Chain A
Amino acid sequence: MPKIIVEVMPKADLLDPAGKAVANALQRKGNAEISNVRIGKRIELHYAHTPTEADLAAAKQIAADFLSNGVIEDVVNVTVEN
């Protein structure tokens, strides 16, 4: 299934409570070498055809306008995966 993958992360300077909770658990399990964990989202947009440049441009717009909120998140990647 051809797809466009959108990856969204919480902004670097914002508290990421989910990441912090996982980091704390990893520390407890003895993974002292892991200093921090941050958790974001991977969103797959599926297409019936191989995504075109126009599809990619539209997906980037959707990622910026709807799939992320620029106040609290960054879109870190929008890529085609065939």
Chain B
Amino acid sequence: MKIGVVTFPGTLDDRDAKRAVRIAGGEAVSLWHADTNLHSVDAVVLPGGFSFGDYLRCGAIAAQAPVMQSIIDAANGGLPVLGICNGFQVLVEAHLLPGGLIRNEHQHFICRDQKLIVENVDTAWTNGFELGQEITIPLKNGEGGYIADQETLKRLEGEGLIAFRYSEVNPNGSINNIAGLRNERGNVVGLMPHPEHAVEPGFGPDTAAAMRSGVDGLTFFTSVLKQVVNS
């Protein structure tokens, strides 16, 4: 199973994402922003960072990159795509997910282990979770405030397109505590927090059991591998 991880100029978390893929049991394939060839991957991760320096708007220039034209076409055909943080912003700017992300309400960059509630498990990237499960993965961003107009919000809530909500604390002012979304088909998921930073004991968030032992992020990657095998 090959999972492609895209590198744009300014991407930071591509290596962590590739590592997460390998730990989950997949083969990680590097995809380059200027190359339209997706190298026959079975799924794609758009990792976090500051693509193109966050110029214009976060994710806006990356959404126009040659590789994104291939990814948009493939996603519309059902290819699983996960956008993490800046990758979520790219998905929104590429119109694969609705709404927008603005600067955190309190204007501070935030970096914390964040509790989330899994709101939807009918997706390529969340099928290994239990509905309503509480998970903890790192969150680190400056522009993570999710917004959408009332009509879009009503559709997101009504059609079950919210994949994750912030639990206990809303860290950035996102409406309805939205941390992540899915598309109608369930192959595209985007979220601000970082599952790829919680995949290996010793390097994840603290848990009740032990310091840095949290591996809740691994389920994103095992979910997609399971889905690809079954399809």
Contacts and interface: CB of A to CB of B under 8 A. Distances in A.
B103 A66 contact: no
A21 interface: yes
A17 B57 CA distance: 15
Interface in B73-112: 93, 98-100, 102-103, 105, 107
B148 to A, nearest CB: 7
Contacts of A69: 57, 60, 93, 100
A60 B100 CA distance: 21
A76 interface: no
Contact of A66 (B60, B147, B173): B60
B157 interface: no
A62 B17 CA distance: 33
Contacts, number: 30
A44 to B, nearest CB: 14
Interface string A6-47: 000000001101101100000000000000000000000000
Interface residues of A, number: 12
B181 to A, nearest CB: 13
B174 to A, nearest CB: 12
A33 to B, nearest CB: 25
A71 B56 contact: no
B149 A71 contact: yes
A71 B105 contact: no
B102 A15 contact: yes
Given A66-B64, A71-B149, A72-B147, A14 B56 contact: no
Top 5 A-B pairs, shortest CB-CB distance = A71-B100, A72-B100, A17-B107, A17-B103, A69-B100
Interface of B: 56-57, 60, 64, 93, 98-100, 102-103, 105, 107, 147-149, 173
Interface of A: 14-15, 17-18, 20-21, 66-67, 69, 71-73
28 contacts: A14-B102, A15-B102, A15-B103, A15-B105, A15-B173, A17-B103, A17-B107, A18-B103, A20-B107, A21-B107, A66-B56, A66-B60, A66-B64, A67-B56, A69-B57, A69-B60, A69-B93, A69-B100, A71-B98, A71-B99, A71-B100, A71-B147, A71-B148, A71-B149, A72-B100, A72-B102, A72-B147, A73-B57
